[in-house]
Amino acid sequence: MLIRKLLRTAWGYKAQFISMIIMITLGMGIFLGFNMEWRTIEVDTGRFFSDTNYADYRLYSEKGFTFDDLQKIASIDGVDRATRYLSVNLDIKGEKNKSLALDVSESFNVSTFLVTDGADYDENSDGFWLSDKFAAVNDYAVGDTLTLEFRGVEISGEIVGLIKSGEHMICVADKNQLMPDYSTFGYAYITPKKLRTAVESKMKSTAVDELKKSGIPEAFIDDSLSRLLFTEKDIGEAMDQVYAQINLLSAMDKETLEDAVKEQLGRTIMVTPKDDHVVYQEAMGEAEEGKTMGSVLPVLFLLIAILTMVTTMHRIATKEKLQIGTLKALGFRNRRILRHYTAYGLFIGLVGTGLGMLLGLGVCKLVMSENGMMGTYFDMPDWSAATPAFCYPVMAGTVLLLTLISFLSVRQQLKGTAADALRPYSPKKMRKMLLERFRFWDRMKFGTKWNLRDLSRHKSRSAMTLFGIVGCMILMVGGLGMRDTMAGFLDLLDNDISNYTTKVNLADNADKKDSLSLAAEIGGDWESLGGISLDGDTVTLDVVHNPNGMLNVIDESNRRIDLRDDGVYLCLRLKDRAQIGDTIKFSPYGSSETYTAKVIGYNRAIMTESVTMTASLADRLGIDYTLTAIYSEKDADELPSSELIAGKQDKAQLMETFNSFVQIMDSMVVILVVAAVILGIVVLYNLGIMSYLERSRELATLKVLGFRNRSIGRLLISQNIWLTVVGVIVGLPLGVGVLQWLLTALAGEYEMKLMLGPLTYSVSILLTFGVSLLVGLMVAQKNKKIDMVEALKGTD
């Protein structure tokens, strides 16, 4: 019988029950969704990395590694597996603006791939294993032919398989590209044997040139003659130079490995852990970003949901006081009554959490699935949904907490005798407010006084409403502000930092002198990016030559810095390392030299943590560097072709790759803003209805006295509007604060400056007021139907 009563009572309070379930669903759903997102990134990428033997460490040497070097490294105690490795960006012949990273894993036991179509890896194969995503976008299939140009030699062959590789899970040409763009860049693997053939062909063509130069008639020059000019050993040495990387699997820490490598090879080698590799770094960065986001905004949702639950359950319990008293008078034991009413909280908790789990899964899948937001970013075979372990106790805890809230609310009503419980609930007695001591109080309209006193009489309800509006405002400012900041960042990159038309990426083995002549021929600015060790950490040394303003370095206030030659600039993330005027010591990888330089300023670095200096300072210090890119105002077509050039990137095209990043951001913002609006509507409607029910007797009295519906509606709406004004005033700076906190927490990845456009302010404020007005009107509408006769029956 009591169960029937439970269901009927729940139906009687359906507005409250439904809104509480929606609140818990939303709170739990957003909380789970965001937290599942980062956990799924960790789990799925982790599995993929493990399946494709993603390297724990990459050793770089410009001079390359010999087979002997590899064996020495592999023999280090703690190194599980090692391979010589090549990864080089090459243009596809016959295609405009399409290039591939060509990878070779000599031993094919580290940095391997999974085949999704075609043949498995075979060390004797003469074909290409091509990225399946690149193949799909560019209409390549197994059986098609592919030709790449490697150091002036064509590497041609059939596509034998389509693959996915952990090394290129985020397929970007370099660290300056934010998002993959498979229409222009992909990756492919070949066997070491095929690479050796290419190297041999190159050597042959060099030999032919030499023979021609020495005056031997072309008719006498053939393969066997040219082959006489170099030996197997020469080919081996050339291969040694090509393998500029050793990739290895090891659980050792970086310092120990570095020491062991130095001891084995007798020279300092640049050892980069996977944390510094763009793929792992970005993937973990995404997970970290998710953790940060998951720790603030969704928690806010859940908190608002639970607090609203406290207020609503308390109100329902007081409204049920007479029924509680009746049950008690009938002879029901306290425990039974408690169990009955506690079931409400349990019911709301279970249904809300259950639906929240579904919503959470939906939110997670919206982000983490092949067709979801991350689908354009990560290229991996399996997409699952993983929940962080701490979410289970949070779910159980929330259900328990909600049950406890109803338990405590009802227990309060059960205190005393049955007669006490049967006495109707009497609201708190009115007390004068502080405001009433001032003269202006007497001049206030009755409606204003009425609303002010009502707010002060029902403090918890007012506080909850305010909390809801503030939360709604924080979510909107946070969401829209993130978009503004991102847009501002891209605008900065497009207009203030990059003034070039084409970025010319130079080959890894490009000679410095030749590169400088090419830069002079092309015109424009250039830079050199190389790894240095600063206090034991790997950071980038950015040597910049920018007299033409094609590539600018900007300060904390986004103004262009005219680089000086008397010292270095630290990026903002390294600001706490040294003050202006301090001296820093650093050592480039592959060199045993340590250099000292004075810090003369800080700059906003776009991607990597970096130390920036002018070319003339680098020359004066005697740092050995090679040019990595030339920035020119000419179009890609107008640039000369050269062996030194590994690829050309249009700025417009590069900026285009950011668009998908912005789209991801936009979808997140839409989720947050929609959630904020729903949250606002549900919280305000729930509390609005509660306030309306509590005041229905007063409203009926006003109606009887002769107040029109519209004047009474105005009274109700104006209270909402006041609370909204206060909520907006409090919520706006809080929203900016939360955003600033998020940006600081995410600063490990980017150095973005908080930017908020006037549109964000106005949209957030207008939407919040819109929600408040809408809910006010919905509640005021109910006033028309108030039954004056019914409402006036009985005592207060």
Q: Which is nearer to other proteins, 105 or 783 (CB)?
A: 783
Instruction: State how far the Cα of 63 lies from the Cα of 589, in Å rounded to an integer.
Output: 12
Question: With CB under 8 A as the contact rule, which of the stretches 101-109, 185-193, 405-413, 694-702 interacts with other proteins?
Answer: 694-702
| Nearest distance, CB of residue 693 and other proteins, angstroms | 15
Among 3, 389, 434, 789, binds other proteins (CB under 8 A): 789
Q: Is 185 helix (H, G, I), strand (E, B) or coil?
A: strand
Question: Is 457 among the residues that bind other proteins (CB under 8 A)?
Answer: yes
Question: Is 216 among the residues that bind other proteins (CB under 8 A)?
Answer: no
C-alpha distances in Å from residue 552, one per residue of 178, 525, 526, 604? 19, 9, 11, 11
Q: Which is nearer to other proteins, 336 or 459 (CB)?
A: 459
Q: Is 604 helix (H, G, I), strand (E, B) or coil?
A: coil
Q: Which is nearer to other proteins, 274 or 703 (CB)?
A: 703
| Nearest distance, CB of residue 319 and other proteins, angstroms | 17
Residues ≥6 apart with Cβ < 8 Å to 645: 504, 505, 506, 507, 518, 639
Instruction: State how far the Cα of 153 lies from the Cα of 127, in Å rounded to an integer.
Output: 16
User: What string marks each residue from 759 to 788 as x (binds other proteins by CB under 8 A) or -?
Assistant: -------------------------x---x
Question: With CB under 8 A as the contact rule, which of the stretches 214-222, 246-254, 423-431, 742-750 interacts with other proteins?
Answer: 423-431
Instruction: State how far the Cα of 500 lies from the Cα of 494, in Å rounded to an integer.
Output: 9
Question: With CB under 8 A as the contact rule, which of the stretches 3-11, 447-455, 488-496, 561-569 interacts with other proteins?
Answer: 447-455
| Nearest distance, CB of residue 717 and other proteins, angstroms | 17
Interaxial angle between packed helices 459-491 and 709-745, expressed in degrees from 0 to 180 and rounded to the nearest 10: 50
Return the structure tokens found at 97.
């603006």
State the DSSP code for 274: G
Among 96, 429, 437, 513, binds other proteins (CB under 8 A): 429
The answer to whether 286 touches 750, Cβ cutoff 8 Å, is no
Question: Nearest 5°: phi and psi at 596?
Answer: -125, 135
Among 446, 557, 576, 622, binds other proteins (CB under 8 A): 446
Q: Which is nearer to other proteins, 457 or 560 (CB)?
A: 457
The answer to whether 205 touches 154, Cβ cutoff 8 Å, is no
Among 51, 643, 698, 749, binds other proteins (CB under 8 A): 698
* Of 490, 45, 107, 489, nearest in space to 277 by CA: 45
Instruction: State how far the Cα of 108 lies from the Cα of 755, in Å rounded to an integer.
Output: 47
Question: With CB under 8 A as the contact rule, which of the stretches 209-217, 491-499, 574-582, 699-707 interacts with other proteins?
Answer: 699-707
Question: Is 435 among the residues that bind other proteins (CB under 8 A)?
Answer: no
Residues ≥6 apart with Cβ < 8 Å to 723: 455, 462, 465, 466, 469, 772
Question: Is 694 among the residues that bind other proteins (CB under 8 A)?
Answer: no
- Among all chains, which residue has been given the structure tokens 């389509």? 162
| Nearest distance, CB of residue 712 and other proteins, angstroms | 9
| Nearest distance, CB of residue 785 and other proteins, angstroms | 11
Question: With CB under 8 A as the contact rule, which of the stretches 86-94, 102-110, 441-449, 561-569 interacts with other proteins?
Answer: 441-449
Question: Is 714 among the residues that bind other proteins (CB under 8 A)?
Answer: no
| Nearest distance, CB of residue 789 and other proteins, angstroms | 5
Question: Is 702 among the residues that bind other proteins (CB under 8 A)?
Answer: yes
State the DSSP code for 559: P
Instruction: State how far the Cα of 625 lies from the Cα of 785, in Å rounded to an integer.
Output: 81
Q: Where are the beta strands (DSSP E) in 490-567?
A: 502-506, 525-534, 537-545
Question: Is 703 among the residues that bind other proteins (CB under 8 A)?
Answer: yes
Question: Is 267 among the residues that bind other proteins (CB under 8 A)?
Answer: no
Among 709, 734, 763, 782, binds other proteins (CB under 8 A): 709
The answer to whether 499 touches 339, Cβ cutoff 8 Å, is no
With CB under 8 A as the rule, give the number of residues binding other proteins: 32
Q: Which is nearer to other proteins, 594 or 711 (CB)?
A: 711
The answer to whether 309 touches 20, Cβ cutoff 8 Å, is yes
Among 225, 520, 704, 766, binds other proteins (CB under 8 A): 704
* Of 270, 319, 329, 306, nearest in space to 590 by CA: 270
Question: With CB under 8 A as the contact rule, which of the stretches 73-81, 281-289, 674-682, 696-704 interacts with other proteins?
Answer: 696-704
| Nearest distance, CB of residue 796 and other proteins, angstroms | 6
* Of 746, 739, 747, nearest in space to 477 by CA: 739
Question: Is 423 among the residues that bind other proteins (CB under 8 A)?
Answer: no
* Of 776, 718, 47, 681, nearest in space to 381 by CA: 47
**What one-character-per-residue DSSP string does 142-176 give?**
TT-EEEEEETTEEEEEEEEEEEEEGGGSS--SSTT
Question: With CB under 8 A as the contact rule, which of the stretches 89-97, 230-238, 373-381, 445-453 interacts with other proteins?
Answer: 445-453
Residues 531-570 that bind other proteins (CB under 8 A): none
Q: Which is nearer to other proteins, 383 or 722 (CB)?
A: 722
Question: With CB under 8 A as the contact rule, which of the stretches 137-145, 231-239, 443-451, 570-578 interacts with other proteins?
Answer: 443-451
Instruction: State how far the Cα of 177 lies from the Cα of 333, in Å rounded to an integer.
Output: 70
| Nearest distance, CB of residue 779 and other proteins, angstroms | 18
- Which residues here bind other proteins, judged by CB under 8 A? 427, 429-430, 432, 445-446, 449-450, 453-454, 457, 697-698, 700-711, 784, 788-789, 792, 794-796
